[in-house]
Structure formats: structure tokens, C-alpha cells
Amino acid sequence: MIIGGTTGIGLSAAKSFITEGANIIVVGIDSKSVDQAISKLGQSAEGFAGDATQSKTAIKAIDLALKKFGDFNGMYHVAGGSGREMGDGALHEVTDEGWLKTIELNLSSVFYSNRAALKTFTTLGQSGTILNMTSILGLSPSSKHFATHAYATAKSGIIGLTKSTAAYYASRNIRINALAPSLIDTPMSKRAKANDEIMDFIKSKQPLDGGRIGLPSDLNGAAVFLMSDAAKFITGQVLAIDGGWSLSEGSFK
């Protein structure tokens, strides 16, 4: 199951999982996005429309997986997004609503989906794997162009949730890991892509492969690996897929 699997990073991952032989439930915010995704994914996928910030969404999607495919082995949580338009920003400017909405979208949604998956794995008495989406901003802040402190806090919280639950459930052979991407070409990056100063900064901040913005496909290999049996001895890890972001100071004009 991919929470946030109908667009961007999630949809790209779904295509890769299906290529490797998986059956997929993709969860999107509305029926239109779900229908569009299923038309691209084919018969190996089933869609579910629901809001990831509502606790019952993941539960219902897992039930659909069990009904449709007879099994549920793993979940990749991609859903989240910027809270900038809701009032996120530098901490002294963050509004109460901006804080609550950003945390709800990026951290509470992960709590709900992880809890639902873990309840299912433990109830069925089986192993399973969870892959969460955090952000490089939870590991390596960038103060000038990416000062959204509620978002960074939420993404740091995902790292804590991933590691603490990975430790607890390891003896049950349930693996929990996370990916931490830098700036990726998705709808969320619209503000950055439209700003020449930010894109010039990215050339040095993400110096790999000529200095560029990341692509959703740049995450697919890691996602497939960590969700597969090839990673059966890996848990509690946060893998930065950042084009060198965390190793570079970047440069400003």
C-alpha cells in the first residue's frame, strides 16, 4: 500500500513496485487522482480515495488490500506537503493554524498509517515492512530558502517514530525504515522551481549529476530495495537521497 501513491514520488514508486511483481493499493486524496493513477498502473493496482490525516483512511485501505489481494505485506507512506500556505515559516512567524495543520499533514498522517499497518501485522502474526517519507530538512537544515520550521519538526518527528518503532518491532521481524529526499521535482517544489535564486542555489547544494533538482524516479531504487526481501536485515535506517545536499554548504549570490 502506498499512502500518497497517485501522484509524484508515490506514483513513480508504484510503477516500479509493479514492474517487480507487486500488487499495489494506491491511496490518493480524491477519486479523480485515484482513477488517473489506476489508468496508468493497470490491473496490478487498486485505488482508494481518502484523506491521510484521517485515522480511518489507512485502516480502510488495508482492508481493501486484504479483500482484493488476500494479503498485506508492506506500506510506503509518501503523503505530506508544505505548510507554507497554511502559516508555516520561520518559527517566530508560524501561526497556530500553520503549526497544527503542518504537523497534522506531515506527522499525524504517518502516525495513523504506521499504527494501522502495525496493528494488522501483529494481529495476523506476520512479518512486514514499512517505509516512511521524511525530508533532508529533518537532518540538514537550510536557513535561507527553506525555513519552514513546523515542516522540519514534523519530518524530524518521523525519523524519531521510525527509529523507535523499528527497535520495538524488530523481534517480530517487522522492518521500518525511512527515506529523506532533498528538493524533488513534484508539485510541492513549484515555489522553488519558479525562483531563479533558489534554483541557482540548488546547483551547488545538490551537486550530483550536474547539479539539479531531484526526480521522483531517483527514489525508486531505494524504495524497491528497502521494501523487498533483499533488505531483510535492515531496519531503523534513514537513507538520504539528496544529490549531495547534506554534504554541501551550497552557495549564495
Q: DSSP 3-state assignment of 93? A: helix
Between CA 159 and CA 107 the distance in angstroms is 10
C-beta atoms surrounding 157 within 10 Å: 18
Give me the residue label for grid cell 493496482: 45
Between CA 169 and CA 225 the distance in angstroms is 20
DSSP 184: B
The catalytically annotated residue of 76, 151, 168, 169 is: 151
151: annotated active-site residue: yes
Q: In what order do the strands lie in the sheet with 45-49?
A: 45-49, 24-28, 2-3, 74-77, 128-133, 174-181, 238-241
**Tell me, what amino acid is at 161?**
L
Q: DSSP 3-state assignment of 150? A: helix
Catalytic residues: 151
